[in-house]
Amino acid sequence: MSALAIPGPNPLVPGPRWTSHRFIPCEVMDDQLKHQLGMMAFGMSDLGECLEAARTIAADDEESWVSAWGDRARVLQQRAESAGKHGRRVSAADAYLRAATYWRASLMHFSRPDDPRTRAHAISAYDCYDRYLALSGYPGEPVRIPYEDGFLPSYLYRSPAAGRKAPLLIFFQGRDAWPEDSRWLYDGAIRRGYHCLSVQGPGQGLALRLQGLPFRHDWEQVVTPVVDVAVALEGVDADRIGLMGLSFGGYLAPRAAAFEQRLKVCVADPGVLHWGESIRSGLPASLGDALAEGPEAFNAAAAAVTAGSPLAEWFLRDAAWKHGVSTPYDLFQEFDACDLTGVAGRISCETLVMDGAEERFSAGQARQLYDALDCPKEFLLFDGASTAQLHCQNGGTATAAESTFDWLDGRL
């Protein structure tokens, strides 16, 4: 044995799989950092930049999070602007793309709607992203989808490989991520001849931070206006429209599919049958008991839990903002309204339910949704051998793209 060899497992990866590696000693922050690292494959982030940001992030400290990523974004944006002034379009485009990523990243774990950085960083993210699109020639264009008295900020990615009439995949993210981060999805679509429409719905992205639109459980009211626009798009085959939701979107997409009949396929990644049940499974049992006792008892119990857990405090405050409520009790009423138990049987389009062997945020929910479906369906489990076993295939999006589009090909 070489004197330099390390006997036994690598001490930096203490568990049986790569997923046991921790960059930040907070499960949610660590997952969010891995989300940023996963975008390196598309030039949307860089290893040193991400690890430099992580170096200054303290577990459960929102201020350190927004500052670390904001500082990275600001440096990249300044470099992009300088490159642009000197006519270096490629360098400028590349730097604008990473700056946009880091501006969005700064807001993933920052739940202060009244802080001016919430609005400013969101605007900077899309200013940088739009400049990237303009300079790079990447086939994306901003679209405003009419919604109630405002609009849903969206991007249409037209496939250069598409025929005269091509399928369209509509997708959205969930609670925390931004759809522009999911380049594995829209890039995978356009390379295969699909057009792709990424949507920021209520409770998400700019729709939340600039328009103040909160989540709603009846997501068909969101998707129907999107499909109204989609079927009228030039080059889109109105009979081949698919819908995909990631994370909390694994509830939202099937909910919409139960009512919107113009969808040919639906993908839930991961599937969620009952959002409230999935949330309670990760919280102390005392909260579940207090919920049955009514608002006063539950709000007091929630205050006691959050006093001893910065992560729980962040989650409840973050979720209350995104769902447009002011108390923990009202928040859990919103969570429990996100229940497909009574409507999953109405879904008629062919549906793919995805899951990961190490799904931590909605464990068991995907199988429950799959079992509740009466439509043509398939269950796709990413196990440890796939390296894509985390929530939304975090860290394994190349495998996710192959598997997702292999299923969609021939169906959509």
pLDDT in tens, 50-92: 999 999 999 999 999 999 999 999 999 999 999 999 999 999 9
Residue type, 394: N
Residue 7 has pLDDT above 80, yes or no: no
What values do phi and psi take at 86, rounded to 5?
A: -100, 10
**Nearest-angstrom CA–CA distance, 155 and 158:** 10
pLDDT of 320 higher than 70: yes
pLDDT tens track for 369-409: 999 999 999 999 999 999 999 999 999 999 999 999 999 99
Please determine, for residue 127, whether its predicted confidence score (pLDDT) is greater than 80. yes
This prediction's pTM: 0.94
Domains, the chain: 24-129 (1.20.1440.110), 139-274+338-408 (3.40.50.1820), 278-336 (no CATH)
pLDDT for the residue 280: 83
Q: What confidence tens digit (pLDDT) does each residue in 14-51 have?
A: 788 899 988 999 999 999 999 999 999 999 999 999 99
pLDDT given at position 3: 43
122 vs 305, residue with greater confidence? 122
Q: What is the 3-state secondary structure (H, E, C) of the chain?
A: CCCCCCCCCCCCCCCCCHHHCCCCCCHHHHHHHHHHHHHHHHCCCCHHHHHHHHHCCCCCCHHHHHHHHHHHHHHHHHHHHHHHHCCCHHHHHHHHHHHHHHHHHHHHCCCCCCCHHHHHHHHHHHHHHHHHHHHHCCCEEEEEEEECCEEEEEEEECCCCCCCCEEEEEEECCCCCCHHHCHHHHHHHHHCCCEEEEECCCCCHHHHHCCCCCCCCCCHHHHHHHHHHHCCCCCEEEEEEEEEEECCHHHHHHHHHCCCCCCCEEEEECCCCEHHHHHHCCCCHHHHHHHCCCHHHHHHHHHHHHHCCHHHHHHHHHHHHHHCCCCHHHHHHHHHHCECCCCHHHCCCEEEEEEECCCCCCCCHHHHHHHHCCCCEEEEEECHHHCCCCHHHCCCHHHHHHHHHHHHCCCC
Asked whether the predicted pLDDT for residue 5 surpasses 80, the reply is no
Q: Is 361 a residue whose pLDDT tops 90?
A: no
Residues 123-138 have a mean pLDDT of 98
Burial of 66 (0-12, 13-18, 19+ CB in 10 A): buried
Q: Read off the pLDDT of residues 222-279 as tens digits, 9 standing for 90 and up.
A: 999 999 999 999 999 999 999 999 999 999 999 999 999 999 999 999 999 999 998 8
